[in-house]
C-alpha cells in the first residue's frame, strides 16, 4: 500500500480486536471469552477463539457446554465468520500492488519446478493477483459449482509444472463444509457468503475422515516440500506463532540438511518501545537449527549465529543494483552510531526486489 495508508487487511491481532469490539455487546460472546480465559487460551487470537469454539461444538450434542448450547455456539461461529469476511473480503486497489509484483515474477520465466506458495491468510488477494496476471494455479480443489478437494492430485503431484501451487494452510473465506451421507465434506465456492460458517483454521476439527481435511494434507505438502533435496523456502510475514507449522518446518529441516528456510521478518530484532525481542520463538528455533535463517531489518541469525548487518565498502555493479533495498542509518548519538538495515521483511520491498530480479534476468537473456 502507498505510504501513510493503513494495510489493506489487518493482521491477526488487529482482526481479533475488531471482532472483539464488534461482538462486545453479545452476552453469549462475553461468556465464550470468559470460558476461553478460564481455559488459558489466547483471547487476542481469533484462530484460538475459533478453535476453542469449535471444540465446544463437537461436545455440545444433547446438552450445554460451559453454559452455552449447541445452537448458541453455532450462531456464535457464524457471527465471528461473518465479521471476518466483512473485514478481509476486499479487492486489490490496482494492478500495481506487491501481490501483482509477485505474480509477475512467477510468470517471468519458464520453470523446471513449479512455484509453491504456502499461506496462512484466508483472504482472496493471492487468487486475485494470480488471475489478474493470468498465472494458472492449483489450490487443491477441482470443479466449478462446489469444488471438492482432490487429495490424489496433491499427493501424487499430478499437476502441470507451469501451474503455481497455492496452499492455504489455515483455510479460506470461500471454503465451507456440509454434511453429505453423514460425513462432513469440505468444498470451495465461487462466491463468498457472509452468513455461513467458513472453514478457517480447521486444524482442531477432528473428524473420522480427518485425513481428507485440507489442513492435514497441506501440512503434509509443506513437509514434503522442505524434505526435497536442496529445497529453499522463503517466509515473509510469518511470525512463528503457530506451533503446528513450526514443528513441521523444524522437523523437516532436521531430516534434510540440504534444505534451507529463510524467514524475512518485518521490523527490527527488538521492539523499539521496550527492547523486547520482536520474534522470540523464531530466534529460539534459528539459534538451534543451522538451516533456518532469520533476517530482521537490523540483525540476522545465519547458521545459528546472531549478528548485526554490515555493509561492504566495495561493491560490484550487481550489488549496486540491489543497494536500494539496503539502507544506512545514523542515530542522534555523539558520536553518531551507524547501522545497516536490510528491509526485505517488508512484503512490499521484497516484491520490489523480485521485480528487480526480473529486469536482471531480461538483461542476461539479451546478452
**Separation CA 47–CA 365 (nearest Å):** 46
**Confidence at 90, pLDDT banded by 50, 70, 90:** very high
- Taking only the tens place, the pLDDT of each residue in 32-89 is 999 999 988 888 888 888 888 888 888 888 788 888 999 999 899 889 988 999 899 9
* All structural domains of the chain with their residue ranges: 12-88, 89-227, 230-242+256-307+316-367
Mean pLDDT within 238-258: 94
228 pLDDT more than 50: yes
- Taking only the tens place, the pLDDT of each residue in 98-109 is 999 999 999 998
**Separation CA 180–CA 207 (nearest Å):** 13
Q: What is the mean pLDDT of the chain?
A: 86
Q: Tell me, what's the pLDDT at 201?
A: 64
If DSSP codes are grouped into helix, strand and coil, which group holds residue 168? strand
Mean pLDDT within 7-20: 89
Mean pLDDT within 250-256: 97
**Confidence at 256, pLDDT banded by 50, 70, 90:** very high
| C-alpha angle 218-289-111 in degrees, rounded to nearest 5 | 50
* C-alpha distances out from residue 250 to 29, 229, 294, 335, Å: 36, 16, 13, 42
- Taking only the tens place, the pLDDT of each residue in 152-200 is 898 888 899 999 999 999 889 999 877 777 777 888 988 887 766 677 7
Give phi and psi for 245, each to the nearest 5. -65, -40
**Confidence at 23, pLDDT banded by 50, 70, 90:** very high
Predicted TM-score (pTM) of this structure: 0.87
Cell 499437476 belongs to which residue? 159
If DSSP codes are grouped into helix, strand and coil, which group holds residue 358? helix
- Sheet arrangement for strand 198-200: 141-142, 147-149, 183-188, 171-180, 198-200
330 pLDDT more than 60: yes
350 pLDDT more than 90: yes
- Taking only the tens place, the pLDDT of each residue in 107-158 is 998 888 999 999 999 999 999 999 999 999 999 999 988 899 998 898 888 8
Between these two residues, 364 and 240, which has the higher pLDDT value?
240
**Separation CA 189–CA 139 (nearest Å):** 13
Q: Tell me, what's the pLDDT at 11?
A: 87
**Confidence at 359, pLDDT banded by 50, 70, 90:** low
Q: Tell me, what's the pLDDT at 210?
A: 43
Residue 162's contacts (CB-CB under 8 Å, 6 or more residues apart) are: 110, 111, 114, 136
Amino acid at each position: 500500500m502507498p505510504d501513510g495508508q493503513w494495510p489493506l487487511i489487518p493482521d491477526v491481532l488487529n482482526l481479533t480486536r475488531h471482532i472483539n469490539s464488534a461482538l462486545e455487546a453479545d452476552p453469549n460472546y462475553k461468556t465464550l471469552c470468559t470460558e476461553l480465559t478460564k481455559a488459558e487460551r489466547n483471547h487476542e487470537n481469533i484462530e484460538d477463539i475459533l478453535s476453542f469454539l469449535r471444540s465446544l461444538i463437537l461436545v455440545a450434542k444433547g446438552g450445554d457446554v460451559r453454559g452455552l448450547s449447541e445452537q448458541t455456539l453455532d450462531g456464535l461461529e457464524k457471527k465471528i465468520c461473518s465479521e471476518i469476511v466483512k473485514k478481509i473480503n476486499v479487492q486489490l486497489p490496482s494492478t500495481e500492488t506487491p501481490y501483482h509484483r509477485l505474480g509477475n515474477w512467477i510468470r517471468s520465466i519458464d520453470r523446471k519446478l513449479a512455484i509453491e506458495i504456502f499461506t496462512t491468510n484466508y483472504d482472496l488477494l493471492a487468487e486475485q493477483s494470480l488471475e489478474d496476471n493470468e498465472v494458472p494455479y492449483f489450490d487443491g480443489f477441482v470443479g466449478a459449482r462446489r469444488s471438492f478437494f482432490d487429495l490424489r492430485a496433491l499427493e501424487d503431484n499430478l499437476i502441470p509444472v507451469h501451474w503455481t501451487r497455492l496452499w492455504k494452510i489455515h483455510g479460506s473465506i470461500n471454503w465451507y463444509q456440509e454434511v453429505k451421507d453423514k460425513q462432513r465434506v469440505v468444498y470451495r465456492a465461487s462466491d463468498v457468503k457472509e452468513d455461513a460458517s467458513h472453514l478457517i483454521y480447521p486444524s482442531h476439527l477432528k473428524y473420522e475422515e480427518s485425513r481428507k481435511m485440507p489442513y492435514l494434507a497441506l501440512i503434509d505438502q509443506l513437509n514434503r516440500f522442505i524434505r526435497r533435496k536442496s529445497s529453499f523456502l522463503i517466509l515473509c510475514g510469518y511470525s512463528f506463532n503457530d506451533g503446528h507449522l513450526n514443528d513441521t518446518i523444524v522437523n523437516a529441516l532436521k531430516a534434510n540438511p540440504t534444505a534451507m528456510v529463510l524467514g524475512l521478518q518485518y521490523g527490527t530484532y527488538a521492539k523499539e518501545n521496550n527492547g523486547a525481542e520482536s520474534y522470540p520463538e523464531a530466534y529460539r528455533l534459528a539459534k538451534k537449527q543451522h538451516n533456518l535463517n532469520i533476517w530482521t531489518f537490523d540483525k540476522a541469525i545465519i547458521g545459528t549465529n546472531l549478528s548485526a548487518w554490515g555493509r561492504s565498502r566495495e561493491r560490484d555493479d550487481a550489488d549496486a543494483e540491489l543497494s536500494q533495498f539496503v539502507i544506512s542509518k545514523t542515530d542522534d548519538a555523539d558520536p553518531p552510531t551507524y547501522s545497516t538495515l536490510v528491509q526485505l521483511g517488508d512484503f512490499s520491498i521484497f516484491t520490489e526486489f523480485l521485480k528487480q530480479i526480473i529486469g536482471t534476468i531480461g538483461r542476461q537473456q539479451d546478452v
